[in-house]
Chains A and B, each alone.
Chain A
Amino acid sequence: SQTIHQWPATLVQPVGSPLSLECTVEGTSNPNLYWYRQAAGRGLQLLFYSVGIGQISSEVPQNLSASRPQDRQFILSSKKLLLSDSGFYLCAWSVRGVETQYFGPGTRLLVL
């Protein structure tokens, strides 16, 4: 069966510090991978998606970036965090050719 991992589970960072969140999927190959953010009082917002190694599509202009160095690894980064980057960051995967997405446990980020 497929499993998706995210770490860390929670993170408190000062404004201006860098960020690296990691997501890995087990039990499948060539998945589509997604990063979403859920901010307080707002819905889930798609940030990035990837259909393969090194292939990243960005949905929202921001100070975040994503990378996919390996088939089942997806990384979300920032060079300098803003207060507005606080939120619940969710990684999701789907089988190539299927729309249904499955979410990881999420990382709760608080920027102070």
Chain B
Amino acid sequence: QKEVEQNSGPLSVPEGAIASLNCTYSDRGSQSFFWYRQYSGKSPELIMFIYSNGDKEDGRFTAQLNKASQYVSLLIRDSQPSDSATYLCAVNMYSGGGADGLTFGKGTHLIIQP
């Protein structure tokens, strides 16, 4: 049974600070990891994906993966009020072409306070 766990929050962070979002997964065979952002009433939009241990940076966002600890995180630097949303962590067991769907966590509600 593949499971993805996230703290539901809300996580409140002051504007300009670093927001840290965490996710753990149960399937040690998982190989690809995704972060989506979902505004209230809208569909999820992809922020980043990561396949290898370590850090991956894209603008203000950094994804971190530790497969030994089965842990993936998302850091948002210089947080803006527009970053306020629910952040979904998703895991796919296969990499390199698997057609299986993603297993999602329930999401962390992030609030950036001006």
Partner of B102 from A57, A97, A98, A101 at Cβ < 8 Å = A101
Chain A contacts of B103 at CB under 8 A? 46
Q: How large is the interface on A (under 10, 10 to 19, 20 to 34, 35 or more residues)?
A: 20 to 34
Smallest Cβ distance from B74 to chain A, in angstroms? Answer: 16
**B46 close to chain A: CB less than 8 A:** yes
* Structural contact, A43 and B96, CB atoms closer than 8 A: no
Partner of A44 from B32, B45, B88 at Cβ < 8 Å = B88
Distance, CA A57 to CA B98, complexed state (A): 13
Distance, CA A96 to CA B36, complexed state (A): 20
Which B-chain residue is minimally distant from A88 (CB atoms)? B43
**Given contact pairs A42-B106, A101-B102, A103-B44, A96 touches B88 in the complex (Cβ within 8 A):** no
Chain B contacts of A106 at CB under 8 A? 42-43
**B58 close to chain A: CB less than 8 A:** no
* Structural contact, B102 and A46, CB atoms closer than 8 A: yes
**A25 close to chain B: CB less than 8 A:** no
* Structural contact, B101 and A100, CB atoms closer than 8 A: no
Interface centre among B34, B44, B92 (most CB of A within 10 A): B44
Chain B contacts of A43 at CB under 8 A? 4, 88, 104-107
Q: What would 5 A/B residue contacts be, using CB atoms closer than 8 Å? A: A43-B4, A45-B104, A49-B99, A97-B96, A105-B43
